[in-house]
Chains A and B, each alone.
Chain A
Amino acid sequence: MSLPEFRLLRPHTVDEAIAVLAQHAGNIRVLAGGTDLIPSMRQKLFEPEYVLDLRGIAELRGVRVRDLGRGTPLLAKEARNGAPTSEVEIGALTPLSAIERSSYLCEHYPVLTEAAATVASPVIRNMGTIGGNICLDTRCLWYNQSLAWRKGCGFCIKKDGDLCHVAPGGSKCWAAFSGDTPPALLCLNAEIEIAGVNGTRRMPLREFYPGDGINYRKLPANELVTRVFLPAESAGYRGIYRKLRVRGSIDYPLAAVAVAMKRTSSGNGVGQVVEARIAITAVNPAPTLLMGVSELLAGKNIDETLAEAVGGIAARTAKPLTTSALTPEYRREMIRVFTKRAVLAAWN
């Protein structure tokens, strides 16, 4: 399968990138790591006239912390070991492998490093970026196929067609959001920075995903996700990421859950849950924070029954359909089991 012809544009600054993006809005695709875009272009899911390659923008690479009262952010590896006193900034082009290997993130935001470490395979994590993972296109077996396949089958509502093979009769696209890091970021109350012609703005990540398979993110065609911010308050939360997949590598999640949990600290160890946030992915068109979890768990000691109850919330929130391998019933059941296990693991 050949790549469609396109013009490759390679800016060196965010401003240049924004200008180019605004100029060709609607006829341009953004390439960060390219691990998802390039195969999709070969399948003719996208045939843009221009591809905007961001990889030359050095300022968007790296994890930075404002170290204890100093003004200038430092790269995480140069930061002192203490917990962050203000937010941590991750450039959108930071490779997933760099996040996975960041000892600073691992110490203070373990749910994120654990999630990043499960993305695809080591080679892909060297190329793929956190920004790309946040903006990842939704996936469906009837959509992520070659042009010849889709033509033979009948085009679907997400691309070139007017029916949904997964939920016939409906007009909504149910393609599943299948990124691994966004549920972890949701648990950390992360915010993202979006840059456009009118400057930059910040948005809580939880507002970024409207829950539709086609318009799966709130990102106008002339804007870019440039940075991710992890609040200092979320540092030190225990973190667990559990991912259902057929193979231990390469695969996208078929259902996955991220847990961030804080417990009271007393003189002789840790006590009850202070706060817990749980998000699921790959079972809905958006990564989704579970509602009512913190209320349920706050002030309590977690046991099997309580964890089971949280699993129930996850299973009720999940709407798996035949967008991927393994039956929807199984995936819903696994969201229950994996959530229960993740809650217990975060507690222990």
Chain B
Amino acid sequence: MSNFSIIGKRTALIDAAEKTTGSGKYTDDLSVSGMLIGKILHSRYPHARIRSIDTSRAEKLDGVVAVAIGKDAPNPFGILPVGHDEHALALDKVRYVGDNVACVVATSEAVAEKALELINVDYEVLPAYFDPEESMKAQADFIHENKRGNLEKDYHHIFGDPEKGFAESDQIAEARFIAGEVTHAAMEPHSTLASFELDPHTGKTGRLTVWSSTQVPYYLQHKLSLVLEMPMQQIRVIKPLVGGGFGGKSEVIPLEIIAAVAARKAKAPVKITYTREEVFWAHRGRPRTIIDLKTGVRNDGRITAVKARVVQDGGAYCSYGVVTILYSGALLGALYDIPNIQYDGYRVLTNKPACGAMRGHGTVNVRFAFESQLDELAGTIGMDPAEIRQRNLLKPPCITVNGLRVQSYGLPACIEKTVERSGWKRRKGKLPRGRGLGIACSHYVSGAANSIIRSDMPHSTVNIKIDRDGGVVVYTGASEIGQGSDTMVAQIAAEALGCSLSRVHVIAADTDLTPIDIGSYSSRVTFMNGNATLRAANEVKKLIAAAAAKKMNCTPEDLIFREDVVKKRNAQVAGEAAHAAQESPTVSGRVEGQILRGSLQQKRKEEGPKESMSFEEAVVAAIDFHGALTGTGSYAPPPEARGGKHKGGGVGPSPAYSYSAQVAEVGVDEETGEVTVHKVWAAHDCGRALNPVSVEGQIIGSVWMGMGQALTEEMVWKDGMLMNPGLLEYRSPSSIESPDVEPIIVESIDPEGPFGAKECSEGSLAATIPAIANAIYDAVGVRLHESPFTPERVLAALRAKKKEKTLNLTEGVDPTSPKRFREHGGSLCFKGKGPQRHALDPAHTHAPASAGGAD
């Protein structure tokens, strides 16, 4: 159907070879001469004032070059302009176990670790808060002095008339859902190498170069500039290969600032690589969330109103928190047609590592609750769960009640295809006991229409330069983090210029070389950087076309660029095209290029004007004509897509939304509570699949990650200590658990996306959790309201349903109707007193005045 030569083809990622052979360089693989190693001293207490820090013994240790502390860089920072509440190293307070206190710079990791043991920190331990609902009641000892009641931010939105909507409904469901806390667990731990130029005469530090495993080089450059009080132009941020981010590297992580502060103090390059435990402390994952959800439907299946109260256990710093709590409410809209919405969101501070953005940012936990409740309501009114979703579709183009503009909308096709492929109508409710099918839908933004730094600057800019031999260099700020952005950029440039993919070389994410792109987060890169690339390529193409048209005695509009040939429309040049394509990939090198040019000119003189030119010939003509061949393109979301004017209305709007529907087939062992996911049919509307193999990889990865959150992954706490800070005890699924996933690509061709493309890397995740929950219900008739659905929770629910002898499998909490947060996740239950480290904690002293993590 398509008339494309590059896009839409299954294309191996352009960095696949270096990654798979091990030759590729990640940040921790890098070293520069004179480089030292930094190690961070972390807080032992969840909440304490620092009375003093004595680093003198550590400094005297042989091999220690410097010890940096908070005073060395007192300026605050944070990813959001409203959330500048972090310091590179603690100034006067620590707020979670793992908070950053000091950094030793030494000649080796072992020496640095020894020196950490020699730093004396005098702490005054403060009451700590672990349960968000308790934390909100605090009267004193706030985690941040300016956040009364430990409330980071709350929002209260009413769209339409929810009360009227509920009055018009025939059935109402109301329940509490709790989703456990999860983290990204990217394979590559965070790593940063910071190196200052030193003036050989004065010894003063000059320009700073930072190599870092980041999704957001530009923000890192910006925050470094704030903290170090250096102009941005004096700072160069380079992103080497990144081994996965999933949002965990989408903001400035403390080590990135600490490495630079330490390098400045040590006057030497410093590299810090987190241990896996430190990665867990840096966290920025998905917060534990309480969702009190009420939904009303009519007997014909139409949703009349939704009311959600969401409390997020945000950890000790703002991070992306304000955005997370807004996404949780905003993306109640734009999936279905919901006329009346009430949303009350509370982002609460607690003495635990900060939560931030994680794949499906803000939407996932609320989607779990919503899709579960919708399933329940379908049962109540006796309607097929797939049908109730089809009864509530939007009718785009439209603007939702909460101000979100929806244009392309592939949800109907997604539902239709998963239902068809899974044999839903034939098999649902008819599988043998212990087997079940469940359906759920989800959606996500293709980039935020409003950037976190309020400005009118484009969100992406891309430059393209073409050399005389037809080599295309694309300079993009987009951060390849394994999702395939470099390949996407190369594909779009090649498609637009009509040249082969092998001609395109991508230089990405180096702030000295590449124009600004705000980063790889909120699934914005294909849509925004892709559009910028397309515009840059079209600009260069115009220059080439003008020159080529002159040579070919025609107008630029008459020319077609395709497969390394520039030809007149309807020209017969099949033979020449094949010849050019054969030759082109090998043509390289300056000398060769010049010889080639000479011979081409000779040839052209002999032949006169012709019907077609090879890509190089056209490029040479253009360079001869224009002097240089460069183009630039940028992208800013259109004003119509930027959302409503209400407070917090800036978060949620996107130029386009992706859509997903999934059917999961699970088996439940009724004697053990173990859940096995046998198959997931996952349809995703990505607008247009620029690289189908990449889209499928993202769909499968999302399902797999969603399944981890649904069944096994959970951060478990005791007195603010993370009990499972490693990949052995934090259980991401292994390949054995990976179900058969059938990815189904739906192409709705978005009017504004590059070649119609939208996001594909996050939207699918949110559907997986409720699809599994609904399948468990179908299999054994229990509806779990608390995730993950660990075997003891499933078994407890089954036993309660069968009214069997109750065994206290889940510490007294009914997973089908959880009432409260427990300080630990519940996969572990602690009856012991624990370490009793915090004598002042209300949990231990039962002081009536203050409230803490009463467990």
Contact = CB atoms under 8 A, between A and B. Distances in A.
Contact of B832 (A246, A322, A324): A322
Interface in B39-61: 42-45
A333 B672 CA distance: 8
Contacts of A203: none
A324 B731 CA distance: 12
B836 A154 contact: yes
B4 interface: no
Nearest to A148: B42
B376 interface: no
Given A2-B109, A168-B833, A326-B792, A152 B97 contact: yes
B734 A249 contact: yes
Interface string A308-340: 000000000000001011111110011001100
Contacts of B807: 329-330, 333
Contact of B811 (A5, A247, A327): A327
A334 B792 CA distance: 10
Contact of A249 (B673, B736, B833): B736
A207 interface: no
B829 A153 contact: no
B721 A149 contact: yes
A167 interface: yes
B277 A146 contact: yes
A326 B790 contact: yes
B827 A326 contact: yes
A326 B88 CA distance: 37
A291 interface: no
B772 to A, nearest CB: 15
Nearest to B731: A246
A329 B810 CA distance: 8
A165 interface: yes
A19 to B, nearest CB: 30
A151 B117 CA distance: 10
A165 B835 contact: yes
Nearest to B738: A248
Interface string B724-756: 110011010111110000000000000000000
Contact of A251 (B671, B731, B833): B731
B30 interface: no
A58 interface: no
Which has the most chain B C-beta neighbours within 10 Å: A146, A244, A325?
Answer: A325
Given A2-B109, A337-B671, A327 B829 contact: yes
Question: Contact residue range for chain B?
Answer: 35 or more
Interface string B634-645: 000000000000
Contacts of B712: 246-247
A242 to B, nearest CB: 10
Contacts of B808: 327, 329
B275 interface: yes
Interface residues of A, number: 40
A148 B836 CA distance: 17
Interface in A137-156: 141, 145-146, 148-149, 151-154
Give chain A's interface secondary structure class: loop
A100 to B, nearest CB: 15
A166 interface: yes
Contacts of A338: 672
Contact of A326 (B110, B791, B836): B791
A1 B673 CA distance: 37
A121 B725 contact: no
A250 interface: yes
B734 A326 contact: no
Contacts of A334: 672
Interface in A1-23: 1-5
A271 to B, nearest CB: 28
A2 B277 contact: no
B111 to A, nearest CB: 9
B834 A165 contact: yes
A152 B44 contact: yes
B832 A166 contact: yes
Given A3-B110, A148-B42, A329-B807, 18 more contacts: A1-B275, A2-B108, A2-B109, A146-B275, A146-B277, A149-B725, A152-B721, A152-B837, A154-B837, A165-B832, A168-B832, A246-B790, A247-B731, A247-B734, A327-B792, A330-B792, A330-B809, A333-B795
28 contacts: A1-B113, A2-B108, A146-B277, A151-B44, A152-B45, A153-B721, A153-B835, A154-B837, A165-B832, A165-B835, A166-B832, A168-B833, A246-B712, A246-B731, A247-B736, A248-B734, A249-B734, A249-B735, A251-B731, A252-B728, A322-B830, A322-B831, A325-B716, A325-B724, A326-B791, A326-B827, A329-B807, A329-B809
Interface of A: 1-5, 121, 141, 145-146, 148-149, 151-154, 164-168, 244, 246-252, 322, 324-330, 333-334, 337-338
